[in-house]
Amino acid sequence: MFNRMRHHGKGPHCCPPQTMPTQFDPPHFMPPEQYVRTNYIHTVVPHVQPAHITNVNKHMIDHQYYFPCTESVVNECCENHTLCGMPPNPCHMPQHHCPMPHHHGHMPYHHKHMGY
């Protein structure tokens, strides 16, 4: 367990070791090791986006135009009364009663008859 040294002559002699009380030096602090602990915190943020719907009811009015047409008929009759000379005077002798081929200065008489 222990070494015994025996010297024959001059020199130290070794004795068994003695146990002394434990001594404490002041602590030596090393720079701290850096660690990162991430803590997640759940936060709910409600976002409200309201909407509004306006329903527009458009009434379309369709104006329809009709043009009924009736017909009628008018029958006209035109007459010419031409005097070919003078009527005889009962007191005088008749003169010519011949129709004249041209009627200068004489307007014919027109008579309308409706509903024929």
For residue range 13-56, list pLDDT tens digits in order.
788 888 889 898 999 999 999 999 999 999 999 999 999 999 99
Distance CA 97, CA 86 (A): 8
- On average, the pLDDT of the chain sits at 79
pLDDT at 116: 45
How many C-beta atoms surround the C-beta of residue 67 within 10 A? 4
The percent of residues in the chain predicted with pLDDT above 90, rounded, is: 46
**Contact criterion met (CB below 8 Å) for 112 and 78:** yes
Top-confidence range, 13-17, 38-42, 79-83, 90-94 = 38-42
